[in-house]
Amino acid sequence: MIEAAVLTALGAIWILSRFNLRRVAGYATFWDVTTAGLFTWMFVGTYAGMVTGLAASVIVSAFLTIVGRTAGKERLKLERHEGEAIAKPRWKEVD
């Protein structure tokens, strides 16, 4: 179970790393809920499968928390600069 959870989490982390990890970490709650739901659905049917799915989602959540605290987080913010009539979405670092 643990091996399958680690491999599943590494696969998800590898896919998320294709994006900017600071931007992914900015929306960590969304990714936590999404991975928990997806992994639970993928492994539904047995107790071992459910444990594997939830353990994998916990590993992904811990990874995103560590990335957010070490590298920082970015979120989309609407900003209007001088001379612009309409606010545009821009990535800004958040605490």
pTM assigned to the model: 0.84
Q: How confident is the model at residue 52 (pLDDT cuts 50, 70, 90)?
A: very high
Quote the pLDDT of residue 22: 92
Which amino acid is residue 22, in one-letter code?
A: R
pLDDT of amino acid 83: 83
Q: Which residue, chain included where needed, has tokens 């799915």?
A: 53
Residue 80 has pLDDT above 90, yes or no: no
In sequence order, what DSSP letters do the residues of 21-79 get, joined into one string?
HHHHHHTHHHHHHHHHHHHHHHTTTSHHHHHHHHHHHHHHHHHHHHHHHHT-EEEEEEE
Residue 38 confidence (pLDDT):
92
Helix (H) or strand (E) holding 90, with range, is strand 88-94
For residue 95, is pLDDT > 80? no
